[in-house]
Structure 1
Amino acid sequence: MDFDFSAILLVLTVVFGVVWGLDRLFFYKNRKAKYDAAGEEYRDPAPVDWARSLFPVIFVVLLLRSFVAEPFRIPSGSMMPTLDVGDFILVNKFAYGLRLPAFNNKIVSVGEPKRGDVVVFRFPGFLCQDENGNVIRSGDVTCADPHAPVASQNWIKRVVGLPGDTIEVHDSQIVINGKPVIDTQIGPFKGNVSRSEDNYLLYNGATIWSEQLGTANHLIARMPSLQTPPIPNARVPSVVPPNCYIVMGDDRENSEDSRWWGCMPEQNLVGKAFMIWFSWKGVHTGAVDFHRIGMLIR
């Protein structure tokens, strides 16, 4: 979920607003007077007319996307079976506080993520050490280039560990503050072999489980034949640091999450995913999945 559409909207809003505002302050009256003196119907120059027409539209869209709800598309299978590739979701932008568009600085605090929430966040990068031994965030998973820029991407995962929690994860078994997370096996994963995402789970013998995280009861997929890093590890301490969250994908062995790159900083939060508004499976693999449309995300 790689470009920052909010930043583009912000730039367009500023540009159109400045063009329209400066014209009205310094040029409009003289130009209007010339048209009136010539007895001609007044017309704004094309750039000003475009700015005047588009500014309010883009400004409203910016406000809605920044402070109300923003749409995203699920690009990978890391949240299966909860979210599928091709699901289009809505994210509540004020669930955890109001943030400035593009800059993502919190200006009003509303709430904090709860265990089990499905959250969208800006990918923080991989934890690496620079040449001076300082821990920094890098876009290079191998840390061969610790100064590699971190891709500007929005990711989606489920909150597992809260600040101050003691977390242990071995394969898919999670222990939080000394208590194992309750889960119950439902049965084998059943999917469409024509879809690469489904076929990957089928090939690796995935099973579906019901898991209880806080108040969230949801489904996860497990593939015991695949190995994932445990917690704690070199990048993830057993105690979750302040203002940080441990997040994991529901497709537990097919998710590059906190187990790989550390905790997710609070400042990277974008919002809480709450609904699937459209689902597209592909032309030859189901097309529109109508039964998923309108589903609430839990």
Structure 2
Amino acid sequence: MTALTGLLYAVLIAYVGGWLAGQWTANFALLLFLLTSVTGLYWLAERFYFKPSRERAAQQLLASDAQRREALAAQGIKRVDGDVESARQEILRQPWWLDWTAGLFPVILVVFLLRSFLVEPFKIPSGSMVPTLRVGDLILVNKFHYGIRLPVLNKKVISNHEVQRGDVMVFRYPPNPSVDYIKRVVGVPGDEVAYLNQKLYINGKPAEVQPKGDFYDDDAMQYRPHFAEKLGAVDHEILVDPTRMLPPSARSAYAFRENCSYSMQGVTCKVPAGHYFMMGDNRDNSEDSRFWGFVPDENIVGKAFFVWMNFGNLKRIGAFH
């Protein structure tokens, strides 16, 4: 078991090392599931086999020592050397390979359950959601808001709230589901979404917007037009960039590509059943559904709702819309 445990740790270190070095993309949900399963097997083996075996061996040591002392006492020898208690403690001691597997199982199990069914941390990697979210924001994602899903498989087994326009949602990037993206829901099934000449239209009606002056974009180091926008019941803020009035174009074929039409003014799409149209709040600096299509329901990870830390700006901590 020592050799097997050492081999498993070597494989884990190599896998994580390659992931951090950018050699391959890791599936953290799958990795956590495997860690929970393997350490759980070790925990069961420790609970029902290894620990009882050590306890039996320790009991046999005590019984043997008692018999030896009785035999010596019958011969008139009252004082017997030997520290049997330290030997018993050594027998009962958990070996390192169980300490680093079965011993970690409760902690890994709690992390797995929390991450799979309650909340998952997520780091904002780009400026596509400025001004709502900034690069470096560490946020929490509600995993049960849209329903309970099976870990790894991401199959919904219990429904909860429906996805609403205006929700900030984390989802698996359709062209590469091993990568998580975060955008705002602007179109739900059945909606006609259009982004024409830097203006958003839902079912033929322009989204409600109010100018808020200029916003200084730290990433781009320039000021940009800043607006308050309302989608459904959600009030939030957006940026536009007049210097980037370029028409979007599909970078590749995607599911329901025929539902979208592209022109020099922008793009118009009819959202199919079971899918959602996503856009970044930094409207002209976001690669979103305008470029790679719709997000299917099975790709949903959860609803983002809280910035729990930004090491560069503690004032960022708090809820957002």
TM over 0.5: yes
**Does 1:59 pair with 2:109?**
yes
Matching residue of 2:292 = 261
Alpha-carbon shift at residue 191 of structure 1 (Å):
4.2
Matching residue of 2:231 = 213
Structure-to-structure mapping, 1:274-293, within 5 angstroms: 274-280=305-311, 288-293=312-317
CA contact under 8 A between 1:186 and 1:210: conserved in structure 2? yes
**Does 1:238 pair with 2:293?**
no
Structure-to-structure mapping, 1:161-172, within 5 angstroms: 161-172=187-198
Mean Cα deviation higher: 164-173 or 39-48: 39-48
- Structure 2 distance, partners of 1:183, 1:162, is 20
CA contact under 8 A between 1:171 and 1:224: conserved in structure 2? no
**Does 1:198 pair with 2:220?**
yes
CA contact under 8 A between 1:243 and 1:265: conserved in structure 2? yes
Amino acid in structure 2 at the alignment position of 1:198: A
- Structure 2 distance, partners of 1:191, 1:215, is 26
CA contact under 8 A between 2:271 and 2:277: conserved in structure 1? yes
Alpha-carbon shift at residue 151 of structure 1 (Å):
5.9
Higher helix share: 2
Alpha-carbon shift at residue 190 of structure 1 (Å):
2.0
Change (3 A) 1:7 1:21: same
Q: 2:280 aligns with which of 239, 249, 252?
A: 249
Matching residue of 2:43 = 20
**Does 1:273 pair with 2:304?**
yes
- Structure 2 distance, partners of 1:14, 1:122, is 24
Secondary structure of the residue aligned to 1:189 is: strand
Secondary structure of the residue aligned to 2:270 is: coil
Render the CA deviation track for 1:214-235: whole Å, top value 9, x for unaligned. Answer: 111111000022114279336x
Alpha-carbon shift at residue 103 of structure 1 (Å):
2.0
Secondary structure of the residue aligned to 1:76 is: coil
CA contact under 8 A between 2:142 and 2:304: conserved in structure 1? yes
CA contact under 8 A between 1:169 and 1:232: conserved in structure 2? no
Amino acid in structure 1 at the alignment position of 2:224: A
Mean Cα deviation higher: 249-258 or 219-228: 219-228
- Aligned residues with identical type, % of pairs: 45
Q: 1:229 aligns with which of 222, 226, 248?
A: 248
- Structure 2 distance, partners of 1:64, 1:172, is 40
- Structure 1 distance, partners of 2:51, 2:214, is 70
Q: How many residues align?
A: 256
- Structure 1 distance, partners of 2:140, 2:297, is 20
Change (3 A) 1:207 1:237: closer
Secondary structure of the residue aligned to 1:152 is: coil
Mean Cα deviation higher: 242-251 or 100-109: 100-109
- Structure 2 distance, partners of 1:171, 1:6, is 40
- Structure 1 distance, partners of 2:167, 2:197, is 21
TM-score by length of 1: 0.80
Matching residue of 2:215 = 189
Matching residue of 2:153 = 103
> Which runs of 5 or more residues in structure 2 are unaligned?
1-24, 63-87, 250-258
> Which runs of 5 or more residues in structure 1 are unaligned?
126-149, 281-287
Alpha-carbon shift at residue 108 of structure 1 (Å):
1.1
Structure number with bigger Rg: 2
**Does 1:155 pair with 2:155?**
no
Amino acid in structure 1 at the alignment position of 2:230: Q
CA contact under 8 A between 2:43 and 2:103: conserved in structure 1? no
